[in-house]
């Protein structure tokens, strides 16, 4: 199989160029994604598609833009205020949940920004159930309150922030009356939240994918950092702690060999001419400032910060414009479930000359593949993790099971798959390590240990943390300061200040469409039993949550003739799916929440059934056209679609 795949890749490269080969990638730590990046940088393709564009990536990139590094998670015993935005950690992050509950018990203030009344919201000092997609307006309203009432850290602003006067002028546009009208929040709640955050220091934001599923993600994250700077919460203990690049381990950026991808090939990256911040133009610009302060490459990697724009890649497959994309390799991802606009993704995958999937299970994506390569499980391979080089820790472990569990299929580890393909395609000198263990020995060499010694003598290493490092080193930005007015965004051709933009599809921007589709559809809320789109194929887990659910306010359901347990159609102008009705009073009456990540492993897999993915996957309903995406980051909207809901007569999910 590897011989045939390598031969086909070589043929496509010779006929169409290396850029005609793409890949899709998902959550890190299920695989060693950085070695996939190494393979493609050596191969010469800039067209990696990564779920990071709507998961974790925007947060890291905007951290670099604003303060020169993404912060280490930093809820400490001294943290006095915690803002949750776009996240429900009591469901999605068990370890974080414990820390937050302890902080609440110590008396820390909680501000929860979420359209739904979550468990975290029930503990909040202030719950802000804003209209979906209006987060930037809310945060800028809070910025305005803090500036007008002079609640900000004047010394930090004067000495270590660039562009305060410009931010002040922009924030003045967000009067309480205007912000309340945009967000549907009472003015007094906005003021209360601003005062609590500004006067309870240190404070820390905990943000999540709820932000990164909005086409206004860049502006929201920029306003979030403006608030952190105003409160003087940057690089202080218990605030937004900036750890910096790891110096005692070979970083992911060094492993991926991005310098081997020529400028000529970088310039061909699909979407980089339009979504410049989350692709090679922005990455190269940010990297200069990061290295200036932190001394080496580190903090994330190009594998998930300088990626091709997924929706643009799938359209290039279909149209051949601006050039043909003929092959794709999918690893640690499932684009038929997790990419927006599922029908378009389906058409694109079907048109490929070569489609390879590396996965444990026959997912809907794998069912469409020419080759499916079963990889070794996480229990069969070692691990060295530095949390994408953003944490102050190095954690390592050896395989818990024999290197190869006897089973029905032959299989290799992810690392071995990429190395074997590389060896067949002339990359021999760049793959000196036969095994992942040897590759980890190389990464840990600066520490003075092999993997085996590290696991048995160290296991987990914590770097000592230093705070207010900027007093000696400045910030890793072009000005050396926190950039309230971003010179990076300005250089890339974007507005250097945060500004709210209404979603392209909403009851405000398209009132005519709202007449037919009167409800706002949000999705992506985590289900505690599943991991993203996985584990529905595990019987013991599936029994805990057997069917997808659509959440409606009881009054809304009643007006639509629906009751708890009914099967309902959820329809947008892009299609319809069906899920089981769940009544929930803790949300606005014009908002609907549908569960994501659904497919039915027990249903037939052969095309066109594909495990029922077209019937229940919420991404069927979502628009990912470049015109509706975040102009800088390329994020496609998943929380602002207009929909209608009605009963499915005589049909079960």
DSSP per-residue letters across 407-476: -SS--B-HHHHHHHHHHHTT-GGG---SSHHHHHHHHHGGGT--HHHHHHHTSEEEPPP---THHHH--S
- Rounded CA-CA distance 48/359 in Å is 17
Q: Which residues of 417-433 are buried (b: 16+ CB within 10 A; e: fewer)?
A: bbbbbbebbebeeebee
Write the Ramachandran bin of 389: left for phi over 0, alpha for psi from -120 to 50, otherwise beta: left
Cα 376 to Cα 264, 368, 407, 531, 547: the distances in Å are: 35, 21, 11, 18, 29
Residues whose CB falls within 8 Å of the CB of residue 105, separated by 6 or more in sequence, listed in order: none
> 202 preceded by cis ω (within 30°)?
yes
Nearest to 273 by CA among 46, 498, 45: 46
- Tell me the pLDDT tens digit for each residue of 223-251: 999 999 999 999 999 999 998 888 889 99
Nearest to 524 by CA among 213, 85, 114, 129: 213
- Tell me the pLDDT tens digit for each residue of 551-600: 999 999 999 999 999 999 999 999 999 999 999 999 999 999 999 999 99
For the ranges 380-394, 403-417, 559-573, the lowest mean pLDDT is seen at: 403-417
Decide if 388 contacts 50 (C-beta within 8 A).
Answer: no
- Tell me the pLDDT tens digit for each residue of 262-276: 999 999 999 999 999
Cα 575 to Cα 68, 292, 446, 595, 619: the distances in Å are: 42, 49, 54, 16, 10
Q: Mean pLDDT throughout 326-335?
A: 96
**Overall residue count recorded for the chain in this entry:** 653
Grade residue 173 by pLDDT with cuts at 50, 70 and 90.
Answer: very high
- Rounded CA-CA distance 62/286 in Å is 10
For the ranges 131-145, 294-308, 332-346, the lowest mean pLDDT is seen at: 294-308
- Range among 206-210, 378-382, 496-500, 649-653 rated most confident: 496-500
- Tell me the pLDDT tens digit for each residue of 608-629: 999 999 999 999 999 999 999 9
pLDDT higher than 70, residue 130: yes
pLDDT higher than 80, residue 28: no
Grade residue 526 by pLDDT with cuts at 50, 70 and 90.
Answer: confident
Mean pLDDT over each residue of the chain, to the nearest integer: 94
Burial class (CB in 10 A: 0-12, 13-18, 19+), 458: middle
pLDDT at 429: 98
pLDDT higher than 70, residue 652: no
pLDDT higher than 80, residue 479: yes
Grade residue 377 by pLDDT with cuts at 50, 70 and 90.
Answer: confident
Helices within 48-124 (DSSP H only): 57-67, 89-92, 94-106, 119-122
Distance of CA 264 to the CA centre of its chain: 28
Residues whose CB falls within 8 Å of the CB of residue 94, separated by 6 or more in sequence, listed in order: none
Write the Ramachandran bin of 650: left for phi over 0, alpha for psi from -120 to 50, otherwise beta: left
Grade residue 101 by pLDDT with cuts at 50, 70 and 90.
Answer: very high
pLDDT at 298: 65
Only one residue has tokens 């009914």, namely: 566
- Could you tell me which residues are beta bridge partners of residue 382? none
Grade residue 258 by pLDDT with cuts at 50, 70 and 90.
Answer: very high
For the ranges 295-304, 546-555, 618-627, the lowest mean pLDDT is seen at: 295-304
Only one residue has tokens 């997609």, namely: 133
Cα 304 to Cα 14, 48, 256, 330, 619: the distances in Å are: 27, 8, 11, 15, 21
Q: Mean pLDDT throughout 100-128?
A: 95
pTM to 2 decimal places:
0.96
pLDDT at 33: 81
Cα 516 to Cα 456, 571, 628: the distances in Å are: 63, 10, 20
pLDDT higher than 70, residue 29: no
Only one residue has tokens 């029908």, namely: 343
């Amino acid at each position: 199989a590897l011989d045939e795949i390598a031969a086909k890749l070589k043929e496509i490269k010779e006929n169409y160029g290396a850029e005609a080969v793409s890949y899709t990638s998902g959550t890190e730590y299920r695989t060693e994604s950085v070695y996939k990046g190494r393979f493609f940088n050596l191969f010469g393709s800039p067209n990696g598609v990564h779920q990071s564009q709507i998961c974790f990536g925007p947060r890291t990139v905007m951290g670099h833009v604003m303060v020169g590094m993404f912060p280490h998670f930093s809820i400490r015993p001294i943290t006095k205020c915690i803002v949750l935005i776009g996240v429900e950690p009591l469901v999605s992050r068990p370890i974080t949940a414990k820390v937050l509950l302890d902080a609440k018990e110590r008396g820390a203030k909680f501000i929860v920004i979420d359209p739904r009344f979550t468990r975290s919201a029930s503990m909040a000092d202030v719950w802000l159930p804003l209209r979906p997609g209006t987060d930037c307006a809310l945060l800028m309203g809070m910025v305005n309150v803090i500036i007008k009432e002079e609640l900000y850290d004047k010394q930090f602003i004067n000495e270590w922030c660039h562009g305060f006067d410009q931010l002040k002028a922009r924030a003045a546009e967000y009067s309480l009356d205007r912000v309340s009208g945009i967000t549907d929040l009472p003015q007094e709640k906005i003021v209360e939240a601003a005062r609590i955050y500004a006067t309870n220091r240190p404070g820390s934001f905990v943000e999540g994918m709820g932000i990164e599923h909005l086409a206004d993600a860049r502006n929201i994250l920029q306003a979030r950092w403006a608030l952190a700077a105003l409160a003087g919460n940057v690089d202080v203990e218990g605030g937004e702690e900036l750890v910096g690049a790891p110096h005692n381990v070979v970083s992911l950026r060094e492993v991926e060999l991005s310098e081997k991808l020529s400028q000529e090939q970088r310039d061909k990256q699909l979407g980089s001419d339009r979504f410049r911040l989350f692709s090679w133009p922005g990455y190269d610009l940010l990297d200069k400032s990061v290295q200036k302060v932190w001394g080496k490459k580190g903090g994330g990697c190009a594998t998930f910060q300088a990626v091709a724009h997924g929706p643009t890649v799938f359209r290039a497959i279909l149209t051949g414009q601006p050039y043909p994309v003929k092959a794709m390799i999918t690893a640690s991802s499932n684009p038929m479930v997790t990419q927006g606009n599922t029908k378009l993704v389906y058409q694109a995958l079907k048109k490929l000359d070569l489609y390879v999937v590396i996965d444990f299970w026959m997912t809907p994506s794998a069912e469409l593949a020419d080759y499916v390569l079963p990889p070794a499980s996480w229990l069969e391979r070692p691990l060295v993790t530095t949390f994408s080089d953003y944490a102050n820790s190095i954690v390592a472990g050896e395989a818990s099971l024999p290197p190869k569990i006897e089973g029905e299929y032959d299989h290799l580890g992810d690392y071995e798959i990429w190395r074997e393909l590389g060896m067949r395609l002339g990359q021999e000198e760049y793959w000196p390590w036969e095994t992942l263990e040897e590759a980890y020995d190389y990464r840990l060499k600066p520490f003075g240990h092999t993997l085996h010694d590290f696991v048995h003598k160290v296991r987990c290493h914590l770097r000592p943390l230093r705070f207010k490092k900027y007093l000696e080193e400045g910030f890793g930005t072009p000005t050396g300061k926190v950039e309230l007015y971003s010179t990076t965004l300005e250089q890339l051709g974007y507005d250097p200040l945060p500004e709210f933009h209404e979603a392209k599809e909403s009851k405000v921007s398209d009132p005519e469409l709202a007449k037919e589709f009167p409800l706002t559809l949000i999705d992506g809320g985590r289900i505690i039993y599943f991991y993203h789109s996985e584990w529905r194929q595990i019987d013991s887990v599936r029994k805990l949550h057997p069917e997808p659910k659509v959440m409606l306010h009881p009054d809304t359901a009643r007006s639509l003739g629906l009751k708890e347990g009914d099967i309902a159609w959820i329809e947008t102008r892009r299609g319809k799916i069906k899920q089981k009705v769940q009544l929930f009073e803790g949300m606005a009456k014009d908002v609907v929440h549908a569960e994501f990540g659904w497919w039915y492993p027990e249903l037939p897999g052969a095309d066109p059934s594909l495990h029922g993915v077209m019937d229940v996957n919420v991404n069927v309903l979502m628009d990912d056209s470049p015109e509706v995406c975040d102009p800088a980051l390329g994020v496609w909207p998943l929380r602002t679609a207009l929909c209608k809901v009605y009963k499915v007569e005589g049909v079960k999910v």
